[in-house]
């Protein structure tokens, strides 16, 4: 049997809360994090999409000015979330050679990159600051978290677009099972609410254009869904070998029982309409967790609210769970947070962990008219979970055909 791995610390900064307790409370209240972007660049560039789900608590309110100056916003979010998760874990003394980091991002330091390009064109090469490279590199969040915690068992950056955050948990689990680390700070961070990525995602018709009603724009499974809503922030989870957690008397939220990552090899952006890659990921993750389809009670779905994306996930769930899918309740967190891209998997893993730990499933908002082709049992008001051993899944899929699934077991 592989080493058992448990989750002992949670941290987040998201559009519906600057920390985990606030995010969770707002989720149960059905809060939306989407609103109009108050920046002059929206009008300046005549962006076709004028809203997003920006983080609720600016990182500048949490980090010192000098700390923040040396970090891209994506790294700032990662450090804010990982510090909360670390405090929450209660770990005080630990061999830092046995502590690793697996912190993902989808895009990396896009603000830094484009600011530096503007500086180069307007003021010349001399004004391009020497911190530019460490701030724009996609491993920036993982490196900063490693430095902050003194984590020396490796700092990794899975990059698989919107599957990145979930893939970080996959990587973390492997690090502990293989004996390379006892504790891993896993997570994902994204800060891409910048006019260029908005223009680019809008150009590929991926974003909702519901500019007059931002809070209603992210509506997974609804017949009126017209695209995803850009979100930003970070989620962080301390995962730990069970024997290590038990030895220090840690509070255990849930077991990270299994993970899987597959690739569609079908199309660079379009999901496989039959969801074959996602089905394989679901089945492999359950197998990895030594779990049966019948054990699953809850799924935190990827469900981005795009017309073409939500249905193949249903098809894959149906193929992997069969008739038992009728007994499974599904939540779509992106209806509230928007799509945090490379951070979404980490934030949704936290929501799934809390669903098991609090025995309450979080909600899906804006589901007024459910797509008849997606007949899932969607949780639209907080719903209790029964006592006993429960299994829950969280899915993430990314451009490039990346599929990542984690299996959590209550403890």
Partner 1 sequence: MASNEEILAGLAEIVNEETGLAPESVEMDKSFTDDLDIDSISMMTIVVNAEEKFGVRIPDEEVKNLKTVGDAVNFISGAQA
Give CA 365 to chain center in angstroms: 18
Catalytic residue, candidates 156, 244, 339, 402: 339
How far apart are the C-alpha atoms of 125 and 384, rounded to whole Å?
58
Identify whether 244 is a catalytic site residue: no
Instruction: Report which secondary-structure segment, H or E, holds 51.
Output: strand 51-52
Cβ distance to partner 1 smaller for residue 100 or 135: 135
Identify whether 339 is a catalytic site residue: yes
Q: Which residues bind partner 1 (CB under 8 A)?
A: 64-66, 69, 126-127, 129-131, 134
Cβ distance to partner 1 smaller for residue 58 or 134: 134
How far apart are the C-alpha atoms of 39 and 68, rounded to whole Å?
20
Cβ distance to partner 1 smaller for residue 55 or 113: 113
Catalytic residue, candidates 156, 162, 186, 194: 162
Cβ distance to partner 1 smaller for residue 61 or 93: 61
Retrieve residue 176's tokens: 């502990």
Catalytic residue, candidates 194, 244, 298, 302: 302
Question: Phi and psi (nearest 5°) for 229?
Answer: -110, 125
Shortest distance, position 397 Cβ to partner 1, whole Å: 38
DSSP string, 18-46: SSHHHHHHHHHHT----EE---HHHHHTT
Shortest distance, position 125 Cβ to partner 1, whole Å: 10
**Kind of pairing, strands 329-331 and 296-300?**
parallel
Shortest distance, position 126 Cβ to partner 1, whole Å: 6
Cβ distance to partner 1 smaller for residue 119 or 223: 119
How far apart are the C-alpha atoms of 189 and 103, rounded to whole Å?
7
Shortest distance, position 78 Cβ to partner 1, whole Å: 20
DSSP string, 361-386: EPP----SSB-TT---EE--S-EE--
Retrieve residue 125's tokens: 């090469």
Identify whether 186 is a catalytic site residue: no
Cβ distance to partner 1 smaller for residue 28 or 133: 133
Retrieve residue 243's tokens: 């024997």
Question: Phi and psi (nearest 5°) for 88?
Answer: -65, -30
Q: Are 218 and 32 in contact (CB under 8 A)?
A: yes
Q: Which of 342, 333, 410, 321 is nearest to 379 (CA)?
A: 333
How far apart are the C-alpha atoms of 211 and 202, rounded to whole Å?
12
Cβ distance to partner 1 smaller for residue 64 or 268: 64
Shortest distance, position 110 Cβ to partner 1, whole Å: 21
How far apart are the C-alpha atoms of 196 and 147, rounded to whole Å?
30
How far apart are the C-alpha atoms of 113 and 110, rounded to whole Å?
5
Radius of gyration of the chain (CA): 20
Cβ distance to partner 1 smaller for residue 133 or 202: 133
Q: Are 12 and 81 in contact (CB under 8 A)?
A: yes
User: If you ran DSSP here, which 8-state letter would residue 172 be given?
Assistant: H
Residue 178 burial by Cβ neighbours in a 10 Å radius (0-12, 13-18, 19+): exposed
201-to-15, 114, 196, 208, 213 alpha-carbon distances in Å: 19, 16, 9, 10, 19
Shortest distance, position 204 Cβ to partner 1, whole Å: 37
Catalytic residues: 162, 302, 339
């Amino acid at each position: 049997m592989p080493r058992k791995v448990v989750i002992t610390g949670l941290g987040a900064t998201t559009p519906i809360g600057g920390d985990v307790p606030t995010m969770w409370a707002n989720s149960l209240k059905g809060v939306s994090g989407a609103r109009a972007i108050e920046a002059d660049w929206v009008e300046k560039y005549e962006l076709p999409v004028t809203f997003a789900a920006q983080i609720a608590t600016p990182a500048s309110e949490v980090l010192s000015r000098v700390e923040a100056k040396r970090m891209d916003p994506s790294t700032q979010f990662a450090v804010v979330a990982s510090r909360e998760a670390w405090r929450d874990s209660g770990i005080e003394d630990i061999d830092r050679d046995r502590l690793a980091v697996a912190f993902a991002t989808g895009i990396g330091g896009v603000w830094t990159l484009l600011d530096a390009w503007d500086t180069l064109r307007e003021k010349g090469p001399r004004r391009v600051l020497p911190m530019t490279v460490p701030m724009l590199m996609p491993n920036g969040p993982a490196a900063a978290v490693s430095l902050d915690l003194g984590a020396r068992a490796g700092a990794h950056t899975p990059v698989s677009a919107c599957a990145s955050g979930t893939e970080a948990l996959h990587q973390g689990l492997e690090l502990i099972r293989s004996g390379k680390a006892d504790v891993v700070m896993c997570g994902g961070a994204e800060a891409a609410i910048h006019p260029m990525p908005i223009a680019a995602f809008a150009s590929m018709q991926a974003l909702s254009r519901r500019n007059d009603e931002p809070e209603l724009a992210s509506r997974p499974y609804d017949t009126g869904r017209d695209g995803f809503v850009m979100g930003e922030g970070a989620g962080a989870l301390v995962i730990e070998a069970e024997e290590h957690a038990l030895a220090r008397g840690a509070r255990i939220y849930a077991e990270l029982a299994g993970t899987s990552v597959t690739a569609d090899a079908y199309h660079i952006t379009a999901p496989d309409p039959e969801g074959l890659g996602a089905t394989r990921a679901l089945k492999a993750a359950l197998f990895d967790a030594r779990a049966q389809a019948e054990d699953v009670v809850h799924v935190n779905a990827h469900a981005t609210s795009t017309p073409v994306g939500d249905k193949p996930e249903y098809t894959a769930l149906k193929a992997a769970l069969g008739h038992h899918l009728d007994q499974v309740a599904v939540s779509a967190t992106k209806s509230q947070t928007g799509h945090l891209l490379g951070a979404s998997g980490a934030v949704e893993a936290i929501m799934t962990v809390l669903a098991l730990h609090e025995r309450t499933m979080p909600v899906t908002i804006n589901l007024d008219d459910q797509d008849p082709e997606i007949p899932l049992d969607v949780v639209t008001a907080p719903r209790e979970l029964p006592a006993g051993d429960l299994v829950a899944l969280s899915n993430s899929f990314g451009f490039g055909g990346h599929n990542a699934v984690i299996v959590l077991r209550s403890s």
